[in-house]
Amino acid sequence: MTADHEDLWNAIQERCGALDPGTELLTPLSNRPFRVREISADRLRVRFDDSGETRTLWREQFAVLADRLEGHRLPVSELAPGVEPYVTVLTLLADFGAEDDEIVYVSEREMGGGSPYLVSPAEARTRPERLHDDALLLADLLDTLDPADPETLDTRGLTDLYVLLSDVQHEADRLRQTARESLLSRLGPDQELHGRFGTVRRTSRERRRPKDDETVFDVLDEHGIPRDWVLGVDPDKLDVVLAATDLAEAEVYDVEEQAYVQKTDVEEEEKYSRLQGLAERIEELDDEEGEKLREDLLDLEARLDEALSA
C-alpha cells in the first residue's frame, strides 16, 4: 500500500475513533443508519441500526474508492448498496465531500469533512430513547422545582417545565399508540390482561360519519322526511362566502378569542448536554452511595409487588 493510502487509512481510523459515542451515520442513497462498532488494523466493523446487520469495511476497498474519486465524481443516485457505507465514511475526511448530489474529491481541504451523512448522538436517539431521556430530565426538574404552585417559579424554570411536560406527553402518546396495537392483537372479547402496574381490557366505541348526500336524501325521500330537516350551514362554504363578498365575519360567527401557550422550539442539544451531566453525576457516586441507591430501588420494587398482590 502506498504512503498516500497509508495516510488515508490512518485518517479514517482517527476520524472514526473520534466520533462521539452514539453518533450515527447514514448511507447516501438508501438512507440506512449505521454505527462504527470496531476499528481494526485492516478493517472497520459497522452495524446497521434498522436491521442489526453487521458488515466489514476493508482497508483496501477504501483505497480503491479514494483513487477513483480523485479523478471522477460519483453520483449518489448510482451508488451500489455495498459501496454506500464506504462513501459515508470517506465524507468524514477533509479530502472528500458531497456536492450537488455527487461524492467528490475536495482539492481545498478546508472545504471537506462536513459530511451530510453524520447524525449527532442527540439526533440519533430513537423515540423510546428520547422519551426515556425527557422523562429523566423532567424527573430531575421536578426534584428542584415546586410545580404544585407555578406562580412561585421563575420564568425560565416554568418554561422548561412546560416544554418537558409537552415533550413527554407527545412521545408517550406515540409510544402508547404503538403499544395499543400490539395489545389489541393479544386481547380477546371481554378479556383482561394484568401487569405489575395495572390492568387493561378490550373496549370499543362507535364513530359515525354521514353517508354521501345522495344516499341520505334518497332514504329521507323514501320515508317521507323533508330534506330541509337535515340541512344546515356548512362552515367551509360559509368561509368561501366571507372571502368573496363584503359579508362581515361577526355577522355570521360568534368569535371568542382564547389564549394558549404554544411550544415553538426545543433545544435538543441543550437537553442532551444536561443528560450527560446527569450521567456523570450518577457515575460519580461512590460505592457506598451507589449501593444505597440500588437498595432503595429494590425496596421500592418489593413494596410495589406487595401492594399489587394485596
Domain boundaries, the chain: 3-123, 125-201, 213-252
pTM over 0.85: no
Q: How far apart are CA 60 and CA 74, in angstroms?
A: 19
**175: CB partners within 8 A, 6+ apart:** 127, 128, 131
Report which listed range, 145-149, 244-248, 304-308, is most confident: 244-248
Q: How far apart are CA 103 and CA 218, in angstroms?
A: 64
Q: How far apart are CA 3 and CA 24, in angstroms?
A: 30
pLDDT in tens, 268-305: 888 888 887 877 776 666 555 656 666 666 676 667 66
pLDDT in tens, 218-261: 988 999 988 888 888 888 888 888 888 888 888 888 888 877 66
Helix (H/G/I), strand (E/B), else coil: 30: coil
Helix (H/G/I), strand (E/B), else coil: 122: helix
**35: CB partners within 8 A, 6+ apart:** 23, 24, 25, 46, 47, 49
pLDDT in tens, 180-226: 999 998 988 888 888 888 899 888 888 888 888 899 889 889 999 88
**280: CB partners within 8 A, 6+ apart:** none
CB 46 within 8 A of CB 57: yes
Q: Which residue shows C-alpha cell 446527569?
A: 278
pLDDT in tens, 95-123: 898 888 889 887 665 555 578 999 988 88
Q: How far apart are CA 117 and CA 93, in angstroms?
A: 12
Q: What pLDDT, on a 0 to 100 scale, did the predictor assign at position 24?
A: 94
**Does 70 or 131 have the greater pLDDT score?**
131
Helix (H/G/I), strand (E/B), else coil: 33: strand
Q: How far apart are CA 298 and CA 10, in angstroms?
A: 48
In terms of DSSP H, where are the helices of the chain?
3-17, 59-69, 84-90, 121-124, 127-144, 155-184, 213-222, 235-244, 249-252, 268-283, 287-309
10 Å CB burial of residue 240 (0-12, 13-18, 19+) is: exposed
Centroid of chain to Cα 230: 45
The 8-class DSSP code of residue 110 comes to: G
In angstroms, the Cα distances linking 256 to 250, 253, 284 are 11, 9, 54
